[in-house]
Structure 1
Amino acid sequence: MVESTAQQLANYLKTRVGDGLRTVIIVSEDDYEIQYLRRDLKEQYSKRAFDEVVDDVRVESLPLAQLVESHPIGEQRAVVHYYDSAFVVQFPYSDTEQILISVATDAGASLLQFIEGCRQIVDTAA
């Protein structure tokens, strides 16, 4: 069940990144359920802000469900979004559900360094 998986993921991430874990959210076609929300974010973000983020991710991920098994380079396992203060990672769970996590950028330091190194090359060439 998706709730159990989301809780297992939250427990794993708490152990792995500690306070770097921001959120764990189950996203369906027309709803979402917050499984974990770091305490300071409860005060920082309104429900409307969460609605907007989830709606944006839902729109951007329409191909996620459609291409999970049909892409020539293999099954799509996750989508990573990089923002100023967080990495947001989408994991497809079923045809209609996904698990969305966010971690602080310092919790994903290796990924941050890799992306920024690539961005510097692209920005220099552009």
Structure 2
Amino acid sequence: MASGLLPAETADQIETTCRTAVGDSLRSVMYFTRDDYEQLYLREDLERDADLSTFIGHEWRGFKTTQTAYEGSELGDYQYTIRVFENGFLIRVTSDREGIFVTTDGLTIKDFEELATAISTVLEERNRA
């Protein structure tokens, strides 16, 4: 499903990382920057009619707002966001340059922590390259 924003190898690595972390609960994987986005995976039983550009704008602004709002607080540095919806969950892991959000069916908090750690590792390795 990748369209060129990321090298194919990186897109595959992100998708594989997410699939390994959450298995059949994975619904979708989206890579984004402030200016662009790429859907890396969409489970075949889901419709392709989501307004992705609006989602991305909201997730980018949400990251920046959250990061700024809690900067220097006793909670520590921002790590990731989990959003809970009627039909699934969204987890967003973002750096200053790029982010990934993943939608899933039901998971445990431990599953979310493992997924966030795996995604963060991929982004950190990418930023070191």
Band of TM-score, shorter chain: 0.5 to 0.7
Equivalent residue for 1:45? 48
Letter in 2 for 1:81: R
Identity, % of aligned pairs?
Answer: 24
Gapped regions of structure 1 (runs ≥ 5): 112-126
1:67–1:35 distance in 2 versus 1, CA, 3 Å: farther
> TM-score scaled to structure 2, two decimals?
0.63
Point out where structure 2 has 5 or more consecutive residues left out of the alignment.
Answer: 1-5, 110-129
**TM-score, scaled to structure 1:** 0.64
**Deviating 4+ runs (over 6 angstroms):** none
Which of the pair is proportionally richer in helix? 1
TM alignment of 1:1-126, pairs within 5 A? 7-41=12-46, 44-46=47-49, 49-64=51-66, 66=68, 70-93=72-95, 95-105=96-106, 108=107, 110-111=108-109
Bigger Rg over Cα: 1
In angstroms, what is the RMSD of aligned CA positions?
2.7
Measured in 1, the distance between the counterparts of 2:61 and 2:100 equals 15
